[in-house]
Amino acid sequence: MTFWIDTHCHLDAAEFSSDVVAVRARAAAGQVAHCVLPAVGVGNFEAVRRLAHQFSDSYALGIHPLCVHQAQDADLQVLDAELALRKSDPRLVAVGEIGLDFFVPALTQSPLRERQAHFYREQLKLARKHGLPVILHVRRSADQLLKQLRELAPEGGWRGIAHAFNGSEQQAMEFIKLGFKLGFGGAVTFEPALQLKRLAAELPLEVLVMETDSPDIPPQWLYATAAQRAAGQAQGRNEPGELPRIAQLVAGLRGLPIEALAAATTANALQALPRLGALVSC
């Protein structure tokens, strides 16, 4: 039987507040058997935990780089305490979503750049302390992320996912060397995304995982340009139920049967996030 793991899905987002049950049901009907729900700040720790238990999914706890300007230094202590409190919860599978974002111009300037780096390093230390993988936000920041991963590597090495990977082949190989899988989602569906399509086609099959990042990063068939939105065309909402169609495109790029891609990416997700093994039946 073909089924999928959406390794990155924000079911707690406001866009899903009115119909999250229906959204998850549509995904299940499309054979998305499991979703990993990363937090973005202390304010939604409880929301992702509750939804993961409600839908028999899993969750990660962390502070997103786009949220660090609103976070307090004490939030790192809250995260530490929550990771300790939930240590025995099998649905807690990682620290995330954490990382660096140097795409948003304001965040590349001091002191926010330094604040991002501080939160990233401290959360890597917490992942190491609690023995958990990490789910990384990588946006024009791969080299800086890699540097800190090398410096803070735990004794047994890292596990985790470089979410929505969109770097170079060389950067991809460096993440892989450090123990990471690479997440592919809606961005690979866009016609101009030639480099990303090439990576999806040529990287070793054993490093790929599938994701939607819903409601963000809609695939091309849901996307409306700024001009189209100004003309009244609505942007389609990305959902975890879009994952099989995204995966179909990736399978086509690789010349693989869809069943083979499903089996491989599921196995890869279980390697990246070992606690999933007790939650997902292959």
Tell whether the model's pLDDT for residue 282 goes beyond 60.
Answer: no
Cβ count near 275 (within 10 Å): 17
Could you tell me the fold of the domain covering 4-278?
Answer: TIM Barrel (3.20.20)
pLDDT in tens, 91-139: 999 999 999 999 888 777 889 899 999 999 999 999 999 999 999 999 9
Tell whether the model's pLDDT for residue 1 goes beyond 80.
Answer: no
Domain boundaries, the chain: 4-278
pTM of the predicted structure, to 2 decimals: 0.97
For residues 73 and 63, give the distance between their C-alpha atoms in angstroms, rounded to a whole number.
11
Residue with more model confidence, 141 or 229: 141
Region 190-217 average pLDDT: 97
CA dist 145 to 117, 129, 149, 189, 272, Å? 9, 18, 6, 26, 17
Tell whether the model's pLDDT for residue 4 goes beyond 80.
Answer: yes
Region 175-202 average pLDDT: 98
Calculate the average pLDDT of the chain: 96
pLDDT at residue number 109: 81
Region 70-85 average pLDDT: 97
